[in-house]
Homo-oligomer: A and B are copies of this chain.
Amino acid sequence: MLEFSHFNEQGRARMVDIGDKHETNRTAIAQSSLLLSEEIYNKMTSGSIEKGDVLAIAQIAGIMAAKQTSHMIPMCHPIALTSIDIFFQWERTEDANRLIITCSVKTRGSTGVEMEALTAVSVCALTVYDMCKAIDKGMIIGPTFLVKKTGGKSGNFTRIE
């Protein structure tokens, strides 16, 4: 049975030792989403210049947050990310407008980048919320989850729908 690896002999938190882990190429893809009102959807997609900007701002916030992950998540190791890319997609049904946010992160290092990808999509979604909350505070963020990771000793992971 796997044990929590973040605890030392005193039962207290530590940043686990990755000094012996190999440097390999590592990637992670995470996803979040926002459930938005029709009014917000229309404004964001009406072709006005604002549309691009809400997503552009959210995206930059997500990218900058990915680089700050180890300063936000206490036990995360600092990692020199080599690539961060965020994509947006709309998913509409009769009574729901959902903005899907996907982030792909890469590094060559001794530990995975799952937290960086998850942090990026989370802050990206929070920024969309911030930009649109004057119109409707009822937006819902999430579900937020890891889609896929590759590289490292713990092996690959792919979410099963």
A interface residues (Cβ-Cβ under 8 A, vs B)? 1-8, 10-19, 25, 32, 39, 43, 48-50, 52-57, 59-61, 63-68, 70-88, 106-110, 114-115, 118-119, 122-123, 125-127, 129-135, 137-146, 149, 154, 157, 159
Contact = CB atoms under 8 A, between A and B. Distances in A.
How many copies of this chain does the complex contain?
A: 6
A68 B75 contact: no
Nearest to A64: B74
Contacts of A119: 126
Given A15-B66, A15-B67, A19-B106, 11 more contacts: A6-B131, A18-B83, A56-B57, A63-B74, A65-B72, A67-B71, A77-B81, A115-B126, A138-B159, A140-B144, A144-B144
B143 A75 contact: no
A-B pairs with lowest CB-CB distance, top 10: A142-B142, A17-B83, A11-B49, A19-B82, A141-B144, A15-B84, A14-B85, A56-B56, A142-B143, A140-B145
Contacts of A159: 138
Given A49-B11, A119-B126, A141-B144, A61 B87 contact: no
A16 B141 CA distance: 23
Contacts of A146: 137-138
A133 B145 contact: no
Contact of A137 (B11, B14, B50, B157): B157
Nearest to A52: B52
